[in-house]
Amino acid sequence: MKNEEMTKEELLKIERNIGKILRAGVFVSSAVIIVGILMFVLTGHSGYATGVWPVRFDAILSGLVGFKALAWLMTGLFLLILTPVLRVVASIFSFAREGDKLYVAITTLVLVILLVAMIIGHGGA
């Protein structure tokens, strides 16, 4: 009985930590998006020529350093997309800690599918 209670307490702690990760991800991405919106409103332009968008990570990073509004907006959206991926990664670790090999395998497969979909989507295929 005591062992079962400990498992429930550990599971509750893991779920709380995952919830904190999700909240932090949404908060950080929202803050970055708000900065991008404010930069766009205050300057009146995206920081790039018409029809030009930074699509590579190095271009986005240099846009962040150069305080270009569109780069900040894209970074915020990227962070928002990564938040549930981070939740899947955290779930893999929590299932591994519990020793649940089946759920580790299933969640790892979900992570692989997410990463492949992101790579395909980035390539435009």
Nearest Cα residue to 98 out of 16, 14, 5: 14
- Provide the phi-psi class of 17: left if phi over 0, else alpha when psi is between -120 and 50, else beta: alpha
Separation between Cα atoms, residue 84 and residue 77, nearest integer Å: 12
* Cβ proximity of 70 and 63 under 8 Å: yes
In angstroms, the Cα distances linking 94 to 2, 19, 38, 51, 115 are 20, 13, 38, 44, 20
The mean pLDDT value of the chain amounts to 86
Residue with tokens 């079962």: 4
* pLDDT score for 1: 41
| pLDDT, average across residues 24-45 | 94
* Cβ proximity of 86 and 107 under 8 Å: no
Confidence class for position 41, pLDDT limits 50, 70, 90: very high
Q: CA Rg, the chain, in Å?
A: 19
Question: For residue range 47-64, what is the model confidence (pLDDT) as tens digits?
Answer: 887 888 787 888 889 989
Q: Please tell me which residue, 122 or 20, carries the higher pLDDT value.
A: 20
Q: Is the pLDDT confidence value at 6 over 70?
A: no
